[in-house]
A = this chain, B = another copy of it.
Amino acid sequence: MSLETPRMVQMANAIRALSMDAVQAANSGHPGMPMGMADVATVLWSEYLKHDPDAPDWADRDRFVLSAGHGSMLIYSLLHLSGYAAPTMDDLRNFRKLGSPCAGHPENFLLDGIECTTGPLGQGLGMAVGMAIAERHLNAQFGDELVDHRTWTIAGDGCLMEGLNHEAIGLAGHLKLGRLIVLWDDNRITIDGATDLSTSEDIKARYEATHWHVVACDGHDFADIRRAIDEAVADERPSLIACRTVIGKGAPGKQGTSATHGAPLGDEEIAAARKELVWDSHPFELPEQVEADWRATANRGAKLHTEWLGRLSTAAQRGEFGRRMAGDLPEGFDLQSYIDGLIAQPQKVATRKASEMALGAINEALPETIGGSADLTGSNNTKTGGMEAFTADNRGGRYIYYGIREFGMAAAMNGMALHGGVIPYGGTFLVFTDYCRAAIRLSALQQARVVYVMTHDSIGLGEDGPTHQPIEHVQSLRMIPNLLVMRPADVVETAECWQIALEQKDRPTVLALSRQNLPQVRTAAERTGSSAQGGYRLKTPDGKPQVTLIATGSEVHLALECAERLEQEGIAAAVVSMVCTQLFDEQPQAYRAETIPADSLRVSIEAGTTFGWERYTGEGGLNIGLDRFGASAPAQDLFDKFGFTADAIVPKIMNKIKA
């Protein structure tokens, strides 16, 4: 049931007015997109989007993703107009100012109703793919009565031009995610000017080549917009709606040009726009009728929400559904008995294999995990026994063959985690974090529980050579705020790391895992903690340590060997396994000082860049690492060549002690 056109026009103009006024007040921002897409957004939010402004966290709401995040005033306007508790009109007034939840780009941690943080182009659409996957998967598990919603995305030319778009739509088309609808703001303008400066692509044909349904509409004609959305909803494939729009629509002197994209329109142009739009209200004021019409749109969703609550109250799986959507692990979930078993029977395995072993237990205990790999399943060891593939025909499957799409995988995992109800993990080689780093950063910023299973974590991968050998990656990932980077030393620590990663409701984890087999270092009781402390003593000498060896992952057993040799030389040596620097840094100062005593010679050993290790080894310390690209050869030859042997390291330590 749609309102008459004149009232719809005013509803859309409310978005235009708020957008141009807020950008003007902030003296920065992007008015062009919100003004251009105001008509499309008005139809979508008032007539199609299933949501309840009074309950932004309703599990079965439609997900709306503003992939073109620079147009943030569009979603702030929509949230305010629809009656969400925030943003308030004051928040809009303070757009882009310190402390306002109306940040330059939409941030999922600042406002309810913002499903994900967008702005880095292409990633919103990539996350929407993940949300659509989560929806169909949960639907298979919990049925139509609890899970039956759509994912809508507004995307711009930038989102479509980014390489990620190819990966995201390839995945969505292959998986036939028919609940995903992308509204493309086809305004033919980018920052540099007309799109034909840089592209000649037939976007419609490209989407069709990946098995999308494509429909076009006049983005300023309400009836035509409805027709296109109806078609998209009816089609079983994911849909692209090409909404032909005029950027900055309503600003008579600048509309249709890149001048409206990323700068305030200016007082004069805004005055002209008010005239053009027949909009008499002062900035940040709304006509009563417009306000009432917008508020009334909430009723539709509120009614659906009430019906849904009714179904939920009698659903057999009510408890489990609630747990899953709350992101809680099953009560009593604990890998400790599995770990105890490992300690009792030491074994030498690669930590990637150890990860697979832990996942065996995890995937059995946690129905919410969804695994996958970017075409390295057998190398990343991400698929455990009995896992079925999630496909167009099997929505209950819990394993995704992501293809050679690292960035697409990471973005989709962000979307799944943010949708809720599932815990995604996915693998590639650690060196290829470079292909998806922008999405890993968004996992961290968005506080999303995503587990990255990154194997082949050093020169230990051997023959594939420098393009495949991470040197700077572990350290550089440790710099990303709110991201746990864990490099376990053996099968026991790997299981501990998985337990920790799963317990993080609001931060992602990167597991850096070895290709090569590693002896089990956690066999005895002699230790001061476990992976949970980030770093702990695996070995403490009798008496005060003269040397403290701080190692990670595949270098921990080497550190133990060095310590033994040092003891033979009469040097008391302690060994610290630094599983996760971030968790270690969170420990009390006393624990940290006791674990790594400042009056011992502190030596770091990690088969990667030494840059940054001074934080733990101090000024007089020694940093054993690799500050150049690797080489192609069998792993052991490389460890020899680059000095990762007790023979090479112990003399360096002895020299330092004597010096």
- Give chain A's interface residues, CB within 8 Å of chain B: 26, 28-29, 69-70, 96-100, 103-105, 107, 117-121, 157-158, 161-167, 170-171, 173-174, 190-193, 197-203, 205-206, 208-211, 373, 375-379, 389, 401-405, 407-408, 431-432, 434-435, 437-438, 441-442, 444-445, 462-468, 471-472, 475-476, 478-482, 598, 609, 611-612, 614-615, 618-619, 627-629, 631-634, 637-638, 641
* Residues of chain B within 8 A of A174, CB atoms compared: 198-201
CB of A479 within 8 A of CB of B165, answer: no
Tell me the smallest distance from the CB of A464 to a CB of chain B, in Å.
4
User: Which chain B residue lies CB-closest to A469?
Assistant: B104
CB of B629 within 8 A of CB of A29, answer: no
CB of B165 within 8 A of CB of A163, answer: yes
User: Which chain B residue lies CB-closest to A440?
Assistant: B434
Known: A163-B166, A471-B481. A375 touches B198 (CB 8 A): yes
A97 to B614, CA, bound (A): 33
CB of A104 within 8 A of CB of B464, answer: yes
Contact for A463 among B96, B99, B379, B628, CB less than 8 A? B96
A634 to B25, CA, bound (A): 12
Tell me the smallest distance from the CB of A114 to a CB of chain B, in Å.
12
A170 to B70, CA, bound (A): 23
* Residues of chain B within 8 A of A193, CB atoms compared: 401
Contact for A98 among B29, B162, B199, B637, CB less than 8 A? B637
CB of A173 within 8 A of CB of B201, answer: yes
Residue of A210, A478, A611, A641 ringed by the most chain B CB atoms within 10 A: A611
Known: A163-B164, A611-B612. A209 touches B198 (CB 8 A): no
Known: A192-B375, A209-B206. A631 touches B98 (CB 8 A): yes
Known: A119-B468, A463-B96. A375 touches B641 (CB 8 A): no
Q: A-B pairs with the 8 shortest C-beta distances?
A: A163-B163, A198-B403, A166-B166, A103-B632, A205-B209, A476-B476, A98-B633, A472-B479
* Residues of chain B within 8 A of A609, CB atoms compared: 479, 481
CB of B120 within 8 A of CB of A432, answer: yes
Tell me the smallest distance from the CB of A94 to a CB of chain B, in Å.
10
CB of B163 within 8 A of CB of A198, answer: no
CB of A162 within 8 A of CB of B405, answer: yes
* Residues of chain B within 8 A of A205, CB atoms compared: 205-206, 208-209
* Residues of chain B within 8 A of A170, CB atoms compared: 161, 199, 201
* Residues of chain B within 8 A of A200, CB atoms compared: 173-174, 210-211
* Residues of chain B within 8 A of A481, CB atoms compared: 471-472, 609, 627-629
CB of A434 within 8 A of CB of B438, answer: yes
User: Which chain B residue lies CB-closest to A30?
Assistant: B464
* Residues of chain B within 8 A of A627, CB atoms compared: 481
* Residues of chain B within 8 A of A379, CB atoms compared: 191
Residue of A117, A157, A404, A468 ringed by the most chain B CB atoms within 10 A: A404
Contact for A373 among B117, B192, B641, CB less than 8 A? B192
* Residues of chain B within 8 A of A403, CB atoms compared: 161, 190, 197-199
Residue of A97, A100, A466, A634 ringed by the most chain B CB atoms within 10 A: A466
CB of B611 within 8 A of CB of A614, answer: no
